[in-house]
Amino acid sequence: MILAADQQVLVQQQLTLAVDIGGSGVKVMVLDDQGNPTTERDRVPTPMPATPEAVVAAILELTKDKPFERVSVGFPGVVRVGVIETAANLHPSWIGFDLAATLTRYLGKPVRVANDADIQGLGAVSGIGVEMVVTLGTGFGSALFVNGKLVPNLEMGHHPFRKGETYEQQLGRAALDVVGKKRWNERLLKAIAILNHLFNYDSLYIGGGNTKKIDVVLPSNVQIIPNITGLLGGITLWRD
């Protein structure tokens, strides 16, 4: 069917480049207005040492030849208006680094940056009640939502958990490598029980690469979310 010019509906897509900076990989994917992927997920290993310059260079390399109008970035640390305040699993030179301004300068597009677990949560929550997210990867990420409203930069990972150690020290990738899957799973159940007592959440979502190591039965209000949620959540940073 051929439409007359005045009948044509111009569908202008705003493509969003979603970036997820992790302790072991930097991932990117392009999303349409609805948050559906329009490209494959691309990944490169996180450069070592993971300085701002090296990670920004990796992002620029990954974004070459990709079409997008705006950028969402998940960063593994505390982020305030685009500026990095902590980076436990990357490099100390991230502290005070304005990631949003730097990427805007290089890419020529608007950039929003948030904590990686917060973005993962934005892609997962239903918006009803108290919902919590933890991510199990290099670090231990956490996010809290009340009726869909985010409490940013929760950082449960660095709070004391047990035996004088934090959640991240007991459940991060290094701990999994040291104690093995069985003990790590036992620890995970203990952490879930404490977080449930503390937050009395309606739902807990668990994401991150190490969810594939979970082999215990989880309580009925806990569910595993796919790793790709960390990129899909990027679209929500643009829904004001």
Determine the residue with CB nearest ligand BGC: 139
Q: How far apart are CA 237 and CA 112, in angstroms?
A: 7
**Least separation in angstroms between CB 9 and ligand BGC:** 41
99-107 helix and 52-63 helix, angle to the nearest 10 degrees: 40
Nearest approach, Cβ of 191 to ligand BGC (angstroms)?
Answer: 14
Tell me the helices (H) and strands (E) count for the chain, helix number first: 6, 14
Would you say 71 or 79 has its CB closer to ligand BGC? 79
Q: Which amino acid is at 136?
A: L
| Nearer CB in complex with ligand BGC: 37/209 | 209
Q: Which positions lie near ligand BGC, rule CB under 6 A?
A: 76-77, 86, 88-89, 115-117, 135, 137, 139-141, 155, 157, 168
Shortest Å, Cβ 61 to ligand BGC:
22
Closer residue to ligand BGC, CB minimum distance, 77 or 233: 77
CB of 63 or CB of 135, closer to ligand BGC: 135
* Min CB(117)–ligand BGC separation in Å: 4
**Contact call for residues 129 and 221 (beta carbons, < 8 A):** no
Residues near 167 by Cβ (< 8 Å), separated by ≥ 6?
140, 142, 156, 157, 158, 159, 161, 191
